[in-house]
């Protein structure tokens, strides 16, 4: 039987009981696969890698080595949450690398979106490899592959090849959630005790805020974007919109406009709100956000975030506009 094909008899995991049964089954499978050997995982803090980490910690404890690379393009509080949940609460064997300067120095002056993505992706692999090559006796590589990844790639997922390690050292993969759909991964994550702020997290691109800080990334504008995005998320949570809107975020263009603050004219950037709903990410519709909420967000961002003096709302559906700006 193809191990990359979901059996037709497999029930959709919708309840804590079904999740528990799946977890126990996977713990046994992982123990049988791994034995007493070590497993390496790149822990991004996204839903899939977090659930895989929690599941493997339950199965093999300290035999799992998690590496979290903070590329400086995370949303506000994300790296801190990874450390809090995995190191402090789950007592994981966690290596944390703050590579902010390394990434931002490489990105200085680069305004082409494709180039930015390449630099971020390439450097991420480099940093991960450097850490991996310092470790002794790693035999397995864990990945947060989920079923849609397999379906989209005809059963072949481009595996992050861990360089920096001898070429002939082929890692065997550990992919405990590869037959699950995203909604099932979330149910399993909750059953594993992960906080809902982590499990219900919305999709976040690998290059992170790098594709939302439009044009060449500068630290001050990146900082303004991070703060504005945190305010947007906080107000959507308060208004209950996090339950009805699939994805929402801020993009900040590399363009200033004039405004007035404390009776003085001053130039600042604009914060562009993007809030969309989609079933498959192939097309997306625009959400009607109550004006009362938009007013609160505008007032908070323009008064609390240094350097932003306008808030705009992007009304473009997909097709026509992609979900991300870059």
State the chain's mean pLDDT as an integer: 91
pLDDT band at 151 (very low <50, low <70, confident <90, very high): confident
Residues 62 and 121 in one domain: yes
How many helices (DSSP H) and strands (DSSP E) are in the chain?
A: 10, 10
Check whether 168 has a pLDDT greater than 60: no
**At how many degrees (to 10) do helices 113-134 and 100-107 cross?**
150
* pLDDT confidence of residue 1: 57
* pLDDT confidence of residue 205: 83
CATH of residue 42: 3.40.50.620
Domain range spanning residue 143?
Answer: 16-199
Asked, for residue 298, whether it belongs to a domain, the answer is: yes
Segment 23-56, tens digit of pLDDT: 999 999 999 999 999 999 999 988 999 999 999 9
Residues 141 and 192 in one domain: yes
Longest dimension (CA), the chain: 72
Residues 191 and 249 in one domain: no
Domain boundary among 142, 167, 199: 199
Asked, for residue 276, whether it belongs to a domain, the answer is: yes
* pLDDT confidence of residue 162: 43
Give dist(CA 323, CA 14) in Å, integer.
28
Residues 76 and 115 in one domain: yes
DSSP tag of 208: G
Residues 217 and 194 in one domain: no
At CA 146, angle to CA 145 and CA 152, rounded to 5?
A: 95
Residues 227 and 193 in one domain: no
Check whether 260 has a pLDDT greater than 80: yes
Number of domains in the chain: 2
Pairing verdict, β 264-277 and 285-286: antiparallel
Asked, for residue 10, whether it belongs to a domain, the answer is: no
* pLDDT confidence of residue 187: 96
Q: Contact 181/147 with Cβ under 8 angstroms?
A: yes
Residues 195 and 216 in one domain: no
* pLDDT confidence of residue 279: 76
Segment 276-325, tens digit of pLDDT: 998 777 889 998 999 999 999 999 999 999 999 999 999 999 998 999 99
Nearest to 46 by CA among 192, 179, 196, 202: 202
CATH of residue 302: 3.30.300.10
* pLDDT confidence of residue 175: 95
Domain boundary among 199, 227, 242: 199
Q: Read off φ and ψ for residue 117, nearest 5 degrees.
A: -60, -45
Segment 81-122, tens digit of pLDDT: 999 999 999 999 999 999 999 999 999 999 999 999 999 999
């Amino acid at each position: 039987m193809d191990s990359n094909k979901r059996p037709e008899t497999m029930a959709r995991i919708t309840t804590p009981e079904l999740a528990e049964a799946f977890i126990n089954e996977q713990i046994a499978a992982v123990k049988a696969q791994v034995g007493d050997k070590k497993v390496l995982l790149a822990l991004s803090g996204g839903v899939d890698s977090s659930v895989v980490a929690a599941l493997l910690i339950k199965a093999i404890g300290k035999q799992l080595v998690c590496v979290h690379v903070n590329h400086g393009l995370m949303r506000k509080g994300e790296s801190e949450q990874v450390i809090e949940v995995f190191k402090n609460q789950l007592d994981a064997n966690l290596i944390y690398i703050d590579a902010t300067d390394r990434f931002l120095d490489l990105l200085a002056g680069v305004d082409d979106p494709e180039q930015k993505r390449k630099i971020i992706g390439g450097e991420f692999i480099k940093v991960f490899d450097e850490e991996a090559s310092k470790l002794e006796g790693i035999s397995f590589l864990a990945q947060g592959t989920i079923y849609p990844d397999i379906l989209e790639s005809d059963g072949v997922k481009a595996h992050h090849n861990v360089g920096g390690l001898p070429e002939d050292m082929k890692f065997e993969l550990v992919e405990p959630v590869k037959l699950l759909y995203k909604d099932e991964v979330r149910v399993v994550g909750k059953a594993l005790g992960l906080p809902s702020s982590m499990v219900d997290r919305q999709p976040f691109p690998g290059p992170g805020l790098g594709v939302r800080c439009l044009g060449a990334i500068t630290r001050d504008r990146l900082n303004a974007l991070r703060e504005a995005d945190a305010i947007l998320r906080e107000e959507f949570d308060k208004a209950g919109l996090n339950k009805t809107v699939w994805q929402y975020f801020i993009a900040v263009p590399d363009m200033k406009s004039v405004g007035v603050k404390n009776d003085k004219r001053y130039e600042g950037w604009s914060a562009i709100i993007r809030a969309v709903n989609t079933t498959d990410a192939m097309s997306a519709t625009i959400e009607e956000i109550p004006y009362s909420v938009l007013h609160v967000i505008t007032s908070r961002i323009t008064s609390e975030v240094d350097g932003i003096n306008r808030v705009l709302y992007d009304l473009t559906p997909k097709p026509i506009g992609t979900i991300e700006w870059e």
